[in-house]
Amino acid sequence: MTAPLPPLPARPHHDGSVLHTTAVAPALDETVILRLRIPEHFGTVADVQLRSVVDHEPRYTRAMLVGAADGWGWWEVPLLAENPVIRYRWLVVQGDGEHLWLTADGCTRQEPRDNDDFRLAAGTDIPEWSTEAVLYQLFPDRFARSVAADERELPEWAEHAEWTDTVIDRGPSIGRQFFGGDLDGITEHLDHLERLGINLLYLTPVFPARSNHRYDALSFDEVDPLLGGDEAYIRLIEAAHARGIRVMGDLTTNHSGDAHEWFTRSHLQPGTPESEFYYWLDPEQRTYVSWLGHSSLPKFNWNSSELRDRFIEGPDSVVGKWLRPPFSLDGWRIDVANMTGRYFDEDHNVDVRRTIRTTMREIEPETLLLGEYTADASPDFQGDAWHGAMTYPGFTRPVLEWLSVPGSPSSYFGIPYGTIPDRTGVDFYETHRRFTAGFPWQVRLASMNALDTHDIPRFATHAREGAVPVALGLSMTLPGIPVVWMGDEIGALGENGEDSRRPMPWDTLEDAAERIDLYARMIRLRRSNPALREGGIRWLHVSDDALAFVRETAVESALVLATRTHAVIDLEDGALTGAPERLEGPGIATGNGSGYRLTTDGISFTVWTLPGVVIPQAVLDETIEDLAPTDIAGHPGSMPGSK
């Protein structure tokens, strides 16, 4: 009979953080040291081996026990980064002959799949500032209007709306309803973002188009005059930079609008240079492939070298132009990145994304590249191009399912459930773990933790009473970039993506002072705590109504407790390092003689600070040759050096 798994705090632990590897993003052919921690109360350990996969061939390397600290034994093994992505897992053999595998998807007695392995991505170049980022997403038409907006003549496609009008979320007027927000209006309200503590601003597209969302661009060479044009964009970016706020643009590499200059030069005009930019379905170039059948969004054909030259390759391309002065954007979010370059048996996605990243790197290495995926993003996010994912299954959906009122109606991201499923904390943990396991650690840190975005319902619309601080807290403390979608901080609601694009009610903002203060406090907590920005993650407790984990660095750690009702959680001795000191929330941590008891009276979110993880001095050495085997209590029989 297979032995049961030990409880979470008693399991061996490894993640991709700097506690457990000497290089999070090593160079190709660089040797790194990987570290595994095993708690003393795990029991006798007879052997530890690392299974890595090189050139798709598994190999095993014996780990060495190098020291102990705070009730943990530390094991080390060298790994040569021979491939751009190295997959690996740990095999722990217990004294009674039982064995346990540790992968990115957790512990198991059964042989795991390679897809569940940890991943070490060599040669990646994620900007250092990304771990410090707290992102604010805004929709330019609905954020703020400057005085100049009143003087602009509406285009023929637009249907005028007053700032206080109800958003049209169904029917043909969805994309035509025009509130007239502009870039100078955003600049005038940067105080609001600074009050929150935002340091990364992401705007949905600013190019001229024939819709309020502007994903149907007419050109990529200028900023929409309805937003104030290029000069207003420069003013915004310069003003944001002066406040320490970076600015990210939004680019659609899958399609243009059907009024785009490239499309109008080629539609019904075979033989023109731009003809090769699209997929035509007849010799006359009358019909064409479009995004999900929407004729207003013709799909790009990335077989075209001319399209590559104009759009993504080199400093004079569209990608490059907006990163260079006088604009100096700090990165791109790529719309429907999952579909870019893919059509039937053609797949240019790898080539397109790598070319985009090469162009960005050549202009400014410290720029960020995020790709939108609505489903599992991990196959395309292995460190070769996309720095992080704007995706939903690993955080957005599971937090909504755990903290929403059961049975609430929802458009639910296109999944035809009809209502929001009622899931437990165990479901949250398992779903979150499963969808983040496929990312290399540095990609996970750069991926977006969004409660909602411009494309989906607002979390607060169907949240349980008291759930907003819990969900917000999870977005700020789990690995990844926290996201605030404009209006979240004032309690905005929305039944679907369109309804969530309501204009900011600036005249009544002080009515939301308590919610704004909550967001500012949680953002300040995130930005002031290194463990919450880049620390590893170790789960301590998972149950239907409570989640507890610790983010760890050598400098400091942070204990996090999220509950949706009252909770009493006993953590055995050794689960925590040091005594918790509360930073945020109502939870109480008390010693109980054999560890710590965490208690809370109801739905709540609490964070405590803890001392950093003590690493045995021997483990600090970056080479394993000088390390001598060490015996510690509970771990007899240290292994010889790596073979």
pLDDT class of 614 with cuts at 50, 70, 90: very high
> pLDDT > 90: what percent of the chain?
92
**Across residues 449-469, what is the average pLDDT?**
97
Whether 372 sits among the annotated catalytic residues: the reply is: yes
CB 318 within 8 A of CB 251: yes
Calculate mean pLDDT across residues 314-341.
Answer: 98
Catalytic-residue membership of 380: no
Confidence of residue 621 (pLDDT cuts 50, 70, 90): low
In this prediction, residue 2 carries a pLDDT of: 78
Query: In this prediction, what percent of the chain has a pLDDT beyond 70?
Result: 96
Contacts of 604 (CB under 8 A, 6+ apart): 466, 469, 470, 561, 562, 563, 585, 586, 587
CA 412/CA 428 separation, integer angstroms: 16
Yes or no: say if 125 and 29 are a contact pair by the CB < 8 Å rule.
Answer: no
The pTM score is 0.95
Average pLDDT score, the chain: 94
80 beta partners = 31
Catalytic residue among 335, 401, 499, 534: 335
Give the 3-state secondary structure of 59-109: EEEECEEEEEECCEEEEEEEEECCCCEEEEEEEEEECCCCEEEEECCEEEC
The SS3 of residue 242 is helix
Name residue 13's beta-bridge partners. Answer: 37
* 577: pLDDT strictly greater than 90: no
Among residues 65, 9, 7, 48, the alpha carbon closest in space to that of 633 is found at 65
Tokens of 433: 């773990």
Give CA–CA dist 284/202, Å, rounded: 40
For tokens 């045995």, the residue is 616
Nearest Cα neighbor of 598 from 580, 612, 573 is 580
- pLDDT for 198 beyond 50: yes
Q: Is 605 exposed, middle or buried (0-12, 13-18, 19+ CB in 10 A)?
A: buried
Residue 517 has pLDDT above 50, yes or no: yes
Most confident residue range from 51-60, 609-618, 626-635:
51-60
Residue 223 has phi, psi (to 5 degrees) of -85, 140
Assess contact for 146 and 481: CB atoms under 8 A. Answer: no
Given 76, 224, 372, 380, which residue is catalytic? 372
**Of 393, 400, 391, 399, nearest to 419 (Cα)?**
400
Contact residues for 26 (Cβ-Cβ < 8 A; gap 6+): 32, 81, 120, 122, 123
Mean pLDDT of 308-324: 98
Give the tens place of pLDDT for each residue, 279-310: 999 999 999 999 999 999 999 999 999 999 99
State the Cα–Cα distance between residues 307 and 636, nearest whole angstrom: 63
Contact between 349 and 253 (Cβ < 8 Å): no
Residue 411 confidence (pLDDT): 80
643 has pLDDT over 60: no
